[in-house]
């Protein structure tokens, strides 16, 4: 296995994070925002993003999984659900990437069952070519090709999350 050159640099990521945070700050000015990070993949993006949001906010987390090695299993498991009462609250879900849309659709439906006053979704990466279920995404950092991407929180078998940029993961031929 090896990691390639950056497809999105650390500097490009940080510029985009600030741009998204500014839009979110304007949209949620004068509102009580609850930002929910979907773990584990979004932890770096989530952390950087909330530091730049100027609106008052609360944070919570959701842990979900659907991947086995490098492909989606199609089955979403929620391992931890937010403890915060979301009824009549403005909620922003933050995730690292949307590809098939299966996980985000499932999570979105579970959150909507709690009757928030609003629910928006922010993703760092959008892999539109893989979309199976359409999910409304309100804030998108970058559109990316249908390649397996690691770095900045995204992993392959729990590895490579600590790379500060995004790159295409490649397996070496044996």
| Residues classed as catalytic | 99
Q: 């490579």: which residue's tokens?
A: 160
**For residue 117, which phi and psi values (nearest 5 degrees)?**
-70, -30
Q: 């509102």: which residue's tokens?
A: 31
> Taking the CA of residue 16 as centre, how many other CA atoms within 13 Å lie in the half-sphere pointing to its CB?
18
Q: Regarding beta strands 33-39 and 90-98, do their DSSP bridges make them parallel or antiparallel, or are they unpaired?
A: parallel
């Amino acid at each position: 296995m090896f990691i390639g050159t950056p497809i999105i640099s650390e500097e490009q990521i940080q510029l985009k994070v600030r741009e998204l945070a500014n839009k979110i700050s304007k949209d949620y000015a004068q509102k009580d925002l609850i930002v929910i990070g979907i773990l584990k993949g979004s932890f770096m993006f989530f952390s950087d993003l909330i530091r730049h949001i100027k609106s008052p906010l609360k944070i919570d987390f959701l842990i979900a999984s659907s991947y086995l090695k490098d492909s989606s299993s199609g089955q979403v498991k929620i391992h931890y659900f937010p403890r915060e009462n979301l009824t009549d609250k403005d909620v922003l879900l933050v995730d690292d990437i949307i590809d098939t849309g299966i996980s985000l659709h499932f999570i979105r439906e579970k959150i909507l069952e709690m009757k928030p006053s609003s629910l928006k979704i922010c993703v760092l990466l959008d892999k539109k070519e893989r979309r199976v279920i359409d999910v409304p995404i309100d804030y998108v950092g970058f559109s990316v090709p249908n390649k397996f991407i690691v770095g900045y929180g995204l992993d392959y078998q729990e590895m490579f999350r600590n790379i500060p940029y995004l790159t295409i993961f490649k397996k070496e031929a044996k």
